[in-house]
Copies of this chain bind each other. A is one copy, B any other.
């Protein structure tokens, strides 16, 4: 068994300065699994309604994503609608319909329980913990969370944080979680809560990795054209965890390599609506942009 992801599968309606799309495949687990599938075998845990288009199922299958854990419940699929400002700087949520996602309690198929790598996308921290209860001996567990849980379920969140190796989180939420403005101070604070590894996502400004012994920072890959930032963070996480699973390691070099890979997959993700860019992505393009990223930050000798 390889990489299990648990999280939302959604139908998104998105308006960006470039255009709009209705009811396209979205949700953290979708972005994560399609991205990570470029690097490793992914098993998805999620829920959709009886309106979920077969075309999306086909896409997952084409990417080799194991859908044994994708429950189909009576009712409608989780729907989200949002609009980005002209400079992409702010996003307004226009509509959220949890639908079948509201009462979903993730359960792992028996075939998933030997998973070595686990990503708990942004859902209720207690549900994240339940998933961990069902996995026998994971080698590496990472999670995401958001302001909603940081403020609303701090006790439950702390319980789950104690059980993961890595937290992958937005910069603003890292500061909120730690109650600290300075990022090094926030990282220290968060690492005392449990995760030995913190990855801070900074959107167009890149990402930073903090461990006991290492700090690693990368700028984002510069893009001539951004189309839709939705799912960039989950595509980052997909590249990150995919690389950890591909290497079968989480030492310092593996973690750095994972951040670089996440930077690359995140950059592809925003180049088209939803998963339109990532779904057509070849491994050659992935590794080529990764080389370009290494060139981007190459500091010459003195």
Partner-B contacts on A (CB < 8 A): 86-88, 181-185, 202, 204-206, 208, 215-220, 222-226, 253, 256-257, 260, 287, 290, 293-294, 296-300, 302
Contacts and interface: CB of A to CB of B under 8 A. Distances in A.
Given A218-B219, A219-B219, A226-B182, A294 B299 contact: yes
A181 B88 contact: yes
B182 A217 contact: no
B296 A217 contact: yes
A302 B264 CA distance: 13
5 contacts: A184-B222, A218-B219, A218-B299, A290-B302, A293-B299
Contacts of A202: 205
B257 A87 contact: no
A287 to B, nearest CB: 7
Given A206-B219, A218-B219, A225 B299 contact: no
Nearest to A293: B299
Given A216-B298, A260-B299, A290-B299, 13 more contacts: A87-B181, A182-B226, A184-B222, A206-B219, A216-B297, A217-B220, A217-B296, A218-B219, A218-B297, A256-B299, A257-B299, A290-B302, A293-B299
A206 B205 contact: yes
B297 A185 contact: no
A183 B298 CA distance: 20
A216 B295 CA distance: 8
A212 to B, nearest CB: 15
A172 to B, nearest CB: 11
Most central of A181, A202, A217 by chain B CB within 10 Å: A217
A185 B219 contact: no
A134 B296 CA distance: 37
A217 B216 contact: no
A224 B299 contact: no
A18 B184 CA distance: 17
A302 B294 CA distance: 11
Contacts of A215: 222, 296
